[in-house]
Structure 1
Amino acid sequence: MENNAARKLKQVPVGYLRVGVDPHKKKHVAVTMTEDFLVQGKFKFTNSRDGFEEALKRARADMEKAGCQGVIFAVEAASHLWRNFAYFLDEEGIPFRLINPFSLKRRREGKDLNRRKNDFRDAEVAAQLLCTGEFTETTLPQGVYAELRATYNAYRRVVKERTRLINLLKGLLDGLFPEFAQVFKDICGQTALRVLSMCPIPGLIRGMTEEEFLKFVREGYRGRLMRGKLLALHYVARRSAGVKAGAWSVSSEVSLLVEKLCLVDRHIQQIEQALVRLVDEAEEGKYLLSIFGLGYISVAGLVAELGSFRSYHNARQMIKMAGSNPTESESAGKRQSKTPMSKKGRPGLRHCGWTAVLSLLRHNPDFRTWAKRLRERPAHANPLTGKEIMGAAVNKLLRIGFVLAKQQTFYQSPRVPQLVS
């Protein structure tokens, strides 16, 4: 069995000076340390290119002072503040490793019963974790993979903003015009948004005849509108229970939200077009798209979160990255019957895999047959429930995607079991 600790320790060259870095908004904190845990120096440097070059100069000066052969950095991966310095080190060809903030906190609290906490202490603990091989192996995304990750993150933020606007719009309509959702099941439809932008107040609607209302809504509009829905809305507006107090102010806010929603929809369309282009440029895109049931957005999310598949040696690394690997719990010879997901990986990757599997289990006959077999197998063979099948399907998708990308072949149903095995 491969010893991960020994393998990681081999990545830290013998005779190199360890430099622990605690990144911050304005000034980073660094501590230099030899391989026998002897602190050589402490300093701060600004979060700028001049500051980064000054940090390299200070580290090399301490390296010569300690008689070391080179320098290697240990950067705490807290928030997003480490990325600029990490990319700078990558450009300069300086080796570095990332330190998990949770591991750093546990190491700091376990070593010091006083729970002493300051920036230099964090940087020192980061260097100690590098010496003991307790770091994270990270490959910074470059090229199309960096573009894809940034674009997909923007896509998720915009979709989340759209959901927020819709929920806010529904909340306002519950007080202003509660019957509106009875007529328009989808308030984001073309006709519904047109009415909300023009006259969302029921008192204003019932003050007009049906023909006047239809003419008012269609005035200056070139698209198609649903006449039946508009007539039904005019009918329910006559007996609406909407709150009249403050109706004009609420209607103004509703119109403003409709404008924001239309703008967000245009942004989503632009980002989706960019995602399609980037997936076509990515090496793994065409192989993942060959899996029946996967679309461009699902593939974009998987590649954006995983990066280049060449960085992985086996599919287990992808599953661990997603945090969908089952974890056991055993103590004193007793073991729990269930092995839940670890959920210690990238939550975004887990979300992408989950949504992709929903489509696969619905449209892909191979996945449907496989899921049915897991659900209907005998009791002694541990039949899986719905959510357990979803988790297993995420792992199956990652395995298949890894094999297809590594062997540069397209998805073919009869060959998949042989390839995975």
Structure 2
Amino acid sequence: MPDDFERMWSDLAPIGRSTESGGYFRQPFTGAERELDAWFREQATARGLRVETDEIGNVVAWWDAGSGAGVLTGSHLDSVLDGGAYDGPLGVVSALAAVDELRQRGFVPARPIGVSVFVEEEGSRFGLACLGSRLATGAVSWDVARELRDRDGRAFADVVAGGASTLLDGVGTFVELHVEQGRDLVDRGAAVGVASEIWPHGRYRFDFTGEANHAGATRMEDRADPMLAYATTALAADEQARLAGQRATFGRLEVAPNGTNAVPSRVTGWLDARCSSDDALAELVAEVTRHGTERASRDGTALSVTPESVSGAVAFSSDLAAAIAADHGDRDWPIIPTAAGHDAGILSAAGVPTAMLFVRNPTGVSHSPAESATVPDCHAGVTALADTLERLAG
């Protein structure tokens, strides 16, 4: 027999969880994430769903019913480093539970309903966010993806067979449920919301190069220290984002030779930038780059900037969002934007009519062990997703 929502959530809770921080390490194609993948297949089989996979590792479990273009839901099971429990898995568990609820209602779909799990959504191992859905939609080619490498230098092509994916053929609509990554629903007093748009966002590698030297024997005026340009750039990113009301974060750093008593020869920092428009994103990154370049030129160092992943603004179908949000008891669900990237944004950009549901996060914190959602709100999310699937597949 398939497990109910709370049993499923209890089964997932210990997998990949750090005993020190309480956060999750579910990086793609590692033991914890593969255990979750096997769990999903078992749950799908227990429900009599037909499981399909591609050579990338994406999986869809189909409730074969009716005919015509399928309605797809689901999310991802991987996490950021030391991440929260809900980002991704909530959408997968809720999708399975929504299938159960529809069957309990006696609902017979007029169109097939699929539950999906996309791999490497976070980009925590191979550096490109939403890699699985990008490959499934053709937004990224296998020739490009195969060369991506993790921090140990292992190529993506060494991990998966790879190639073209036909997993999304026949999909007519996609609905992703996700824990909210912010406090909008908390402020509105709503358990569930519907997405209006995803802000444009990108990841940029800033390579500062200088000259390694002795920390004691080298006079300050004789140094070509790239750490100084990096520090100035990180401060400039914070200042410029605050002034413009946008988002900029240097959250990852590599230093060579990384010695306490050595002036570094190279500092590489990764900028995550998110803005309310494509133009605002371009302007913010250009301004941060200008500050870094100017400081590097004064220090006798150099800066090069490489965009590693850039996603434009995604506006979800306003008609679909309004239809999903309307007529729920005494109030409509709020329609809100998000500054976080999702597989839903990739499918929407590929031309698939797409919607997103958010479940309230009482802390407002995400990508952290403090990420949370209450059981009643999670149940409300399951019912909201079931209602949405019934509307779309009925």
Structure whose CA Rg is larger: 1
Q: TM-score range by the shorter chain?
A: under 0.3
Flag the structure with higher strand content: 2
Structure (1 or 2) with the greater helix fraction: 1
TM (norm. structure 1) is 0.23
